Structure 1
Amino acid sequence: MTTSLQRRRYLQYGLQGLLGLGTLSSADWLQAQERRAIVLGQSAPLTGPASQLGLQMQAGAKLFFDALNSSGGVGGLPVVLRTMDDGYEPERCKANTEKFINDEVFALFGYVGTPTSLAALPLVNQHKIPFFAPLTGAQSLRDPFSRWVFHLRASYFDETALIVNQLTQLGLKRISVFHQNDAYGQAGLSGVQRALKTQNLDPLAVATVERNSVDVAKAVKALVQGQHPDGIVMVSAYKSCAAFIREARKAGYGGVFYNVSFVGTQALSDELGKDAAGVVVSQVVPYPMGQATGVVAEYQAALQKAGGDGKPNYTAMEGYLAAKVFTEGLRRMGAKPSRESLVNALEGMRDFNAGGFRVKFTPQDHVGSNFVELSMLTGDGRVKR
């Protein structure tokens, strides 16, 4: 008879994720009771206006974990990624996180977005569960410091500092900001203001768009008509940014558009088509296209082996890289895996070379990288560095 403890282990070790969604025979089910897996919970937008960010982040991580499991996993344990859709809405993300915690997943991995990650953060700290590589650069998830939160990517402060530096070096000092009206947008705006302040400048004008909305008419009017900025820094997701760019150009704007990485580079390019030409996006992971070495070559090879019509993109590259670094932490845990031993292992990664992308964690600093560079979109669907 299945005991309560067995049922808890069934949930903890992700039986369904391990064996697939097909019907299990009695023999398979009994054998599965003896199996274990390292189960990770991911809340991300799989539907809605930000869905490409979640789908690509999930796809990149899955590429790595699938290859890892085919070669024996970590210490004989497969790593199972359970992803739940939150539609890029904080309350749904909170509910997903509560379910993951009740199901006793080992860690939370690859959440997508600032407002959603912030909704999960109190639960992370309360239940002391590792929260690894959220797709956000917001300072509010880094300060105050949490022992349970690990960031792979550079911050929005890093990204906006590079953007403002390039604009001002080009003599473009009339800079406006278009941002999402939530914690993510505020984080980007704060970064721009912070970078401009070092040069005794302020944003020329600021306008917002609601999360999961493409209602940009008021923002276009506020930023373009009568203001004539040299450049507009954009801090939103791909659909709203694409809508703003199209409408701003229709209104006669001829300046430059700069986006932070969370916009979703490939998704923005797909949305804009030929109108993508000249749009700049800051990046926090290596260029995933073209001839490559190291972790980028590994990612490209895994993508090719998987088949299908998937093409290299930055968000999936981030998911793949996050899975690789997380797995290194698992390997360093020792013979008795636990959440505490995972945190200790990650904090011991003082100089991990993940194939040309260096990661450094310490007990006092859980931001693994400050890597940032700029890319430019073309009108034929390419991305140039």
Structure 2
Amino acid sequence: MSATRRFVSAGLLTVALALPLSLGAPAAQAGVKIGAVLSATGLAEYLGAPEKRTLELWVEAINAAGGVDGETIDLIVHDDGGEPEVARALATRLVEQDKVAAVIGGTTTATTLAMIPVLEAAQVPFVSLAGAVQIVEPVRKWVFKTPHTDRMACEKIFADLKRRKLTTIAIVSGTDAFGRSMREQCVKVAPAGGITVAHEETYGPADTDVTAQLSAVKARRGLQAVVVAGHGQGPAIVTRSYRQLGIGLPLYQSHGVASKQFIALAGPSAEGVRLPAAALLVPDKLAEGDPQKAVVQAYARTWQQKTGQPVSAFGGHAYDGLMLVVEAAKRAGGFDRARLRDELERTRGHVGTGGVVTMSPTDHTGLDLSALRMLEIRKGDWVLVSEQGS
């Protein structure tokens, strides 16, 4: 087996992640173009920046090891600043000018949805890094995604609430595309989960004051917990105001804040917040024998060595997107778009940072609810919550 195959093979992937990025390898052939449109700046920067850095680091490592069966990757990254119309224009550029074989990105739900018509029309495989279930439902032939869906986040939160015998909640949701989608999904699945949504409030992505909304939550009688549906800086502002107002109810966030940057932004107010998130946030706290442990530990070790920063789930989403494309290309015998798309859909048992992925013609995410872990923030760090009790 060649050095290249050792690096990108799923079976030896964790070994490869620990290799230095300067690893030498035989000269590779001319590269294939893979595009990325990410929100590396703007309101979603703390999602998009680690996604961008992850793609750069691991493409460099793959190329240094000889590429994919001798073919290097020419990574073309564009920053949409979190603006959907900019994302659409950049997707068009990737298709018409750069002639990419695949696209990874769409940091947010809004930018992803703006890109989808362009990439579907051009028949370019697209792996989104955003959370809303509407990205993959209904299934679109050329569109896949790596993060857990907002519906899954709602279901995971509701299961934890039921274990704590908390059944009456308020939802505070962002008015951005992800916030609206998660709110809709939570309301939809609440009855089946035994949860009553008794009160709702919203906030804008750029709002800096949510006192009025949270005062209304505090005044509402009978509530037992509050769920925030949002991503970016907004949920941290909500969390700080929540504590300042002295609302004593348990507070839940979504996987849209699965980064130490959320803890830094929220400060001491983050203490006790629970959220569903990827195993990547707790690589050394997973049980021995957990199928993801080796993969997430290797990613975390390499990320921290190269950047000096704590891992975020968002960098993991990008890593998973890249590796899904790479492994599909190996099975397809190259980067032909149609064959690559077919092999993405045939992904079976791929162990990533987000979970064990098994795609199908009716499932272009490939994760089940067990892929989400319930975490609690304690003393500025993540703690795994037992799913056997409260």
TM-score w.r.t. the length of structure 1 is 0.83
**Which runs of no fewer than 5 residues in structure 1 stay unpaired?**
1-33
Aligned residue in 1 for 2:343: 345
1:346–1:361: 8 Å Cα contact kept in structure 2? yes
Q: 2: CA distance between counterparts of 1:122 and 1:80?
A: 24
Correspondence list, 1:5-44, <5 A: 36-44=30-38
Greater shift after overlay, 354-363 or 225-234? 354-363
- Structure 2 counterpart of 1:337, which letter? F
Change (3 A) 1:194 1:305: same
1:107 aligns with 2:102: yes
Instruction: Report if the CA contact (8 A) 1:289-1:312 is conserved.
Output: no
- Residue matched to 1:10: none
User: How far 1:36 moved relative to its partner?
Assistant: 2.8
Aligned to 2:111: 116
C-alpha distance 130-119 of structure 1, shift in aligned 2 (>3 A): same
Change (3 A) 1:249 1:89: same
**Number of paired residues?**
348
Which ranges in structure 2 are unaligned for 5 or more consecutive residues?
1-27, 287-292, 385-390
- For 1:60, the equivalent position in structure 2 comes to 54
| Alpha-carbon separation, structure 2, partners of 1:301 and 1:273 | 25
Per the alignment, residue 295 of structure 2 pairs with 295
Q: Is the 8 A contact 1:172 1:230 kept in 2?
A: yes
Give the counterpart of 1:368 among 366, 369, 376.
366
Residue 245 of structure 2 is matched in structure 1 by: 251
Whole-Å separation in 2 of the counterparts to 1:299 and 1:200: 37
1:142 aligned residue? 136
Q: Give, as a single letter, the amino acid of the residue that structure 2 aligns with 1:294.
A: A
Q: Is the contact made by 1:175 and 1:204 (CA closer than 8 Å) also made in structure 2? A: yes
| Maintained 8 Å contact 1:294/1:356 | no
What is the one-letter code of the residue matched to 2:312?
N
Q: Tell me, yes or no, if the aligned pair for 2:83 and 2:111 is still in contact at 8 Å.
A: yes
Cα distance, 1:235–1:105 mapped onto 2, change above 3 Å: same
Residue 146 (structure 1) shift: 0.7
1:368 aligns to what SS in structure 2? Answer: coil
Measure the CA separation in 1 of the matches of 2:88 and 2:157: 32
Equivalent of 2:69, from 63, 72, 75? 75
Q: Secondary structure at the match of 2:71?
A: coil
Q: Distance in 1 between matches of 2:305 and 2:246?
A: 46
* Cα distance change, pair 305–240 in 1 and its aligned pair in 2 (3 A): closer
Residues 249, 301 of structure 1: alpha-carbon distance in 2 compared, 3 angstrom cutoff:
closer
Could you say which residue in structure 2 is the equivalent of 1:210? 204
Equivalent residue, structure 1, for 2:156:
162
CA contact (8 A) 2:106 2:115 kept: no
What's the CA shift for 1:199? 4.8
The separation in 1 between residues aligned to 2:178 and 2:113, in whole angstroms, is 10
CA–CA separation in structure 2 for the residues paired with 1:115 and 1:255: 31
Cα distance in structure 1, aligned partners of 2:160 and 2:354: 25
- Structure 1 residue aligned with 2:9: none
2:377 aligned residue: 377
Q: Deviations over 1:309-361 (max 9, x none)?
A: 22223222232233222211121121x53110101222222333458942212
SS in 1 for 2:284: coil
**Offset of 1:291 from its aligned partner?**
6.6
**Residues 64 and 302 in structure 1, CA contact (< 8 A), matched pair in contact too:** no
Q: Secondary structure at the match of 1:112?
A: coil
The verdict on how the C-alpha distance between 1:363 and 1:171 changes in structure 2, with shifts beyond 3 A counting, is closer
- CA gap of 1:67–1:348, structure 2 versus 1, over 3 A, is same
3-state SS of the aligned residue for 1:75? coil
Once residues 356 and 206 of structure 2 are traced to their aligned partners in structure 1, the CA distance between those partners, rounded to angstroms, is: 34
Shift of 1:206: 1.1
Counterpart of 1:116 in structure 2: which amino acid?
A: T
Aligned to 1:358: 356
Q: Please give the secondary structure, in 2, of the residue aligned with 1:49.
A: coil
Q: Name the % identity.
A: 23
Q: What's the TM-score, normalizing by structure 2?
A: 0.82
> Which segment drifts farther, 310-319 or 167-176?
310-319
Q: Deviations over 1:196-229 (max 9, x none)?
A: 2115643121111123433423322332234463
Alignment of 1:272-287 (within 5 A): 272-287=266-281
Is contact 2:214–2:242 with CA below 8 Å preserved after alignment?
Answer: yes
Q: 1:111 to 1:277 in 2, by over 3 A?
A: same
Alpha-carbon distance between aligned partners in 1 of 2:166 and 2:276, rounded to the nearest angstrom: 17
Equivalent in the alignment of 2:123: 128
The residue number in structure 1 matching 2:308 is: 309
